[in-house]
Amino acid sequence: MNQIKRKQFILEKLDSLGEVSVIGLSEELGVTSETIRRDLSYLEKSGEVTKVHGGAIKVQNIQEGSFAQRMDLNRQEKILIGQYAASLVTENDTLFIDSCTTTLIFASFLPLVKFTVFTNSSLIADQIKSKNNMAVVHVLGGEYNHTYKANLGIQTIEQMNDIHTDFTFVGVGGIDSDFGVMVKNLDEGRIAKKMLAMGRQKVILCDTSKFGQSGLMKISDINDIDIIVTDKKKNIHKQAIEAIYSDKIIYAN
């Protein structure tokens, strides 16, 4: 396959998946990793992709794209992860839940018992209360961001100063053995970082595509996370983290 066809293949892959890995493309196209890196560098210069550690994402995805588009990315994996993470919650627990597509799916599987939630997402609040009148849900105020369907900013953060919960559940933009747990947006990152600081059990919801991805803001060291709920797929970056932090990782069936 020549360079033009390779680049078209990469762009089509990005359209369907939102992200690609150097190793995966190298295996699919039967070329060296160095060839793929050159192709990605060319596409980045032309403004069509953004290179990240181990691969690339669509330019729109560096700003997370639309909420609906993100809901469709790796949806089946998110469902499995959300189902398992929800099983960790029991009656009378208190939770922080940040605003992302994976945590919205997670919220739909929470048990029909009494628990208390603090979230900056009205979508998550609606998801929980539409099914469970016993749940007590507090929506943290702040400046509403339409792209992220969430309240963000210093007001949101300050409201968490005196709240301590049993669990914090957050989604992430990337998790890397060198750089830790990251997100791609500063405003969302500050919220997630605060929630993690105020939760006793810190739980990351992270499908395999996020392993090896970088982000704009680090929200935690991996060592400070109690549980990483992920799917059973493999990539080389995930294997590196598994080798060090196997006691933290739970695989959703």
Range of 192's domain?
68-251
Q: Please tell me whether residues 132 and 28 are part of one structural domain.
A: no
* pLDDT score at 17: 78
CATH of the domain at 237: 3.40.50.1360
Last residue within a domain, chosen from 14, 33, 63: 63
* pLDDT score at 138: 98
Q: Please tell me whether residues 35 and 84 are part of one structural domain.
A: no
Q: Please tell me whether residues 175 and 246 are part of one structural domain.
A: yes
Which residues is 181 bridged to in the sheet? 175, 220
Q: Give the residue ranges of the chain where pLDDT is below 70.
A: 59-72
Q: Please tell me whether residues 131 and 207 are part of one structural domain.
A: yes
* pLDDT score at 163: 98
Q: Please tell me whether residues 35 and 146 are part of one structural domain.
A: no
* pLDDT score at 68: 65
* pLDDT score at 19: 80
To which residue do tokens 């992430």 refer? Answer: 172
Q: Please tell me whether residues 118 and 195 are part of one structural domain.
A: yes
Q: Please tell me whether residues 174 and 147 are part of one structural domain.
A: yes
Report DSSP state, residue 153: S
Q: Please tell me whether residues 129 and 15 are part of one structural domain.
A: no
Q: Please tell me whether residues 115 and 239 are part of one structural domain.
A: yes
Last residue within a domain, chosen from 19, 42, 63: 63
| Number of compact structural domains in the chain | 2
Q: Hey, how many other C-beta atoms are within 10 angstroms of the C-beta on 8?
A: 11
Q: Please tell me whether residues 30 and 9 are part of one structural domain.
A: yes
Cβ neighbors of 128 (< 8 A, separation 6 or more) are: 107, 110, 117, 135, 137
Please indicate, yes or no, whether the overall pTM of this predicted structure exceeds 0.85: no
Last residue within a domain, chosen from 22, 43, 63: 63
Q: Please tell me whether residues 150 and 212 are part of one structural domain.
A: yes
CATH of the domain at 26: 1.10.10.10
Q: Please tell me whether residues 213 and 245 are part of one structural domain.
A: yes
* pLDDT score at 63: 47
* Largest Cα–Cα separation, the chain: 60
pLDDT, tens digit, 9 for 90 and up, residues 184-222? 889 999 999 999 999 999 999 999 999 988 788 999 999
Q: Where are the alpha helices (DSSP H) in the chain?
A: 3-17, 22-29, 33-45, 67-72, 75-86, 101-108, 122-129, 154-158, 186-198, 236-245
* pLDDT score at 62: 43
To which residue do tokens 């739909």 refer? Answer: 108
Average pLDDT over the chain, rounded to whole?
A: 90
